Structure 1
Amino acid sequence: MEILYKDKKIRELCEKQAAAEKKLGAACARKLKLRLLALQAATRVSELVAGNPHPLKGDRHGQFALDLAGGWRLVFAPANEPCPTRPDGGVDWSEVTIVSIEYIGDYHD
């Protein structure tokens, strides 16, 4: 899949191991690297298996999360234009091939 980033700060966390370890800790930075490799290797979101992949609800409706470590999550949104949708209007994750990483953290806080 193609991976985009919401902003420069998130891109740096994802691309620079030292920055990720400083902010997230070694274990979480390692998981982040694994999840990014899985995203790159997958053709579409529905192929993801590691990290408890799941669509989000509420104020994060339309986004998808992968677990990292210690309650932290990697959250992304579809970046296909137009966004693939199901007949009910929800995101058709089986057709999403471009994602934008929106958030890395614990959204439950």
Structure 2
Amino acid sequence: MRVIFANQRLRDTCASDKAMVREYGAARARKIQVRLQHLQVVETLAELRQLPGRPHELTGDLKGSIAVCLDGPYRLVMRPLDAEDSVVVPPIDWGSVKAVVIDGVYDYH
């Protein structure tokens, strides 16, 4: 799967182990690295459902986004993209999504 970051700062942070630990702490940084590795090895979002992290669609203001669990109330949030790199409008066909935009790490409490 192709992974794009929503902004330069997030991309730079996720590219550096030291920056990730500084920003998120050691335990959460490890979980983020694992979830990003999962995204890179799967071909579609449907395959992501077979891996740990409980990927799920969000509702409310973030409808159309997908989250995977990190630790505690923290989630890695992403938006699925279609073949033309446009954000997919719900309902999401998990089997056809081959690219995502990572929006960030959010606390849902």
* TM-score category, normalised to shorter length: 0.7 to 0.9
How do 1:15-34 residues align onto structure 2 when only pairs under 5 Å count?
A: 15-34=15-34
AA aligned to 2:92 is V
Deviations 1:18-70 (A, max 9, x none): 11101111000000000000000000011112111111111110000011123
2:99 counterpart residue number: 98
Deviation at 1:83, TM superposition (A): 5.3
Q: Secondary structure at the match of 2:33?
A: helix
Off by >4 Å, runs of 4+ in structure 1: 82-85
Per the alignment, residue 55 of structure 2 pairs with 53
Matched letter for residue 102 of structure 2:
I
- Count of aligned positions: 105
Unaligned runs of 5+ in 2: none
Give how far 1:7 is off. 0.3
The CA RMSD over aligned residues, in Å, is 1.6
Paired letter, 1:21 = V
User: Structure 1: which 5+ runs fail to align?
Assistant: none
The alpha carbon displacement at 1:84 in A equals 5.6
Distance 1:23 1:84, change over 3 A: closer
The one-letter amino acid of 1:92's match is D
| Residues 79, 87 of structure 2: 8 Å contact kept | no
Q: 2:69 is matched with which residue?
A: 67
**How many angstroms apart in 2 are the aligned matches of 1:72 and 1:83?**
23
Change (3 A) 1:12 1:83: closer
Q: Hey, what's the Cα distance between the residues in 1 that align with 2:103 and 2:87?
A: 16
So what's the TM-score if we normalise by structure 1? 0.87
